[in-house]
Structure 1
Amino acid sequence: MNRRKKIQQLLKVHAKKASAKRAPQKKSKYISKADRAKLATESNDDAAVVTQS
């Protein structure tokens, strides 16, 4: 592989990574099962407080 081809490949890879960073994220951030359970209990507690008021 000659020097010019190596440089072109590197530039292409860097451009691809940069465009991937700028693209909007397709998936939301992963939330563990324990965190989901904790969030569910917190939301239930908040709902209970609102109904009691």
Structure 2
Amino acid sequence: MNRRKKIKDVYDKRMKQANLKVNPKKAKPKYISKAEREKIAAEAATQTTDIETVETTTTEEQVKKDA
């Protein structure tokens, strides 16, 4: 019985490891370095400024048309 239990334990342990490799838990997000985070933030900032400039130019054009 003891020999069978040891074999079964080894088999179960290997199966558990194989299943974890196939279906990893995605609890932790992928690591993003500080430089990458700053780069993403800079891109987001430029996009928001671009959107603001487009909005201001459209409002100025509307004011000119109304006048």
Same fold (TM over 0.5): yes
Alignment correspondent of 2:58: none
Alignment correspondent of 1:50: 51
Deviation at 1:20, TM superposition (A): 1.9
Structure 1, unpaired ranges of 5+: none
Please give the secondary structure, in 1, of the residue aligned with 2:14. Answer: helix
What TM-score, normalized to structure 2?
A: 0.59
Percentage identity across aligned positions? 35
The yes-or-no answer on 1:38 pairing with 2:44 is no
Alignment correspondent of 1:19: 19
Cα-Cα RMSD:
1.9
Structure 2, unpaired ranges of 5+: 55-67
Q: How many residue pairs were aligned?
A: 49
Relative to total residues, which structure has the larger helix share, 1 or 2? Answer: 2
Q: What letter matches 2:36 in structure 1? A: D
Give the Cα separation in 2 of the matches to 1:18 and 1:51: 51
